[in-house]
Amino acid sequence: MDQQKAERRDKTRTTVAIVVIALLAVLSGVLAALYVTAKAGQSAADERYRALAESTYRKSYYALLYNMDGLEGAANKLTVASGKALKQEYLADVSSYATAAAENMSDFTMNEGDSKIMKFINQTGDFAKYLDDKLNKGGSFAEEDEKTIGEISSAVREIKGTLAELSAEVEEGDFSFVDTLREKDSLFSRTLRSFEQKDVDYPSMIYDGPFSDSLLEREAKALSGADVSEEECRAIAAKVLGVQKTSEISVKSGSKNVFETYDCEADTPAGKAYVTIAKKGGFPVSFSLPEDVQNALHIEAADAERYAEQYLRNIGIENVKAVWASLYDNVYYVNLACARDGVILYPDLIKVKVGGDNGRIVGMEALNYVFNHTERDIPAAVVTEQEAAEAISEYISLSSCRLALVPTKGGGEALTYEFYGTKGADKYFVYVDALTGEELKIMRVLDGERGLLLQ
Crossing angle of helices 2-78 and 84-106, in 10° steps, is: 160
The reported pLDDT for the residue numbered 149 is 86
What pLDDT, in 10s, does the model give residues 28-45? 454 444 444 444 444 555
What pLDDT, in 10s, does the model give residues 202-247? 443 433 322 223 333 467 899 999 999 999 999 999 999 888 777 7
The reported pLDDT for the residue numbered 442 is 83
What pLDDT, in 10s, does the model give residues 58-80? 788 888 888 888 888 888 888 87
From 346, 367, 342, select the one nearest 414 (Cα to Cα): 346
What pLDDT, in 10s, does the model give residues 111-130? 444 556 777 787 788 788 87
Q: What is the mean pLDDT of residues 369-384?
A: 93
Does the structure show a pLDDT above 70 at 430?
yes
403 - beta bridge partners?
343, 417
Q: 276: which residues sit within 8 A by CB, 6+ positions away? A: 254, 255, 261, 262, 263, 264, 284, 285, 286, 287
pLDDT confidence band for 308 (50 / 70 / 90): very high
Spatial separation of the C-alpha atoms in residues 5 and 199, rounded to whole Å: 100
Q: Which has more pLDDT, 391 or 188?
A: 391
Contact between residue 289 and residue 363 where contact means Cβ atoms under 8 Å apart: yes
Spatial separation of the C-alpha atoms in residues 413 and 73, rounded to whole Å: 33
The reported pLDDT for the residue numbered 188 is 63
Whole-number average pLDDT of the chain: 77
Q: 288: which residues sit within 8 A by CB, 6+ positions away? A: 273, 274, 362, 363, 364
Structural domains of the chain, ranges and CATH numbers in brackets: 45-217 (no CATH), 230-372 (no CATH), 385-454 (3.10.450)
Give CA angle at 36 (34, 38), nearest 5°.
65
Q: What is the mean pLDDT of residues 138-159?
A: 82
Q: How many CA atoms lie within 13 A of 322 on its CB side?
A: 22
The reported pLDDT for the residue numbered 384 is 97
Q: What is the mean pLDDT of residues 307-324?
A: 93
Compute how many other C-beta atoms are within 10 angstroms of the C-beta atom of residue 100: 19
| % of the chain at pLDDT higher than 90 | 25
Q: Is the alpha carbon torsion for 215, 217, 223, 227 positive or negative?
A: positive
Position 347: which residue type? P
The reported pLDDT for the residue numbered 194 is 58
Question: What is the model's pTM?
Answer: 0.56
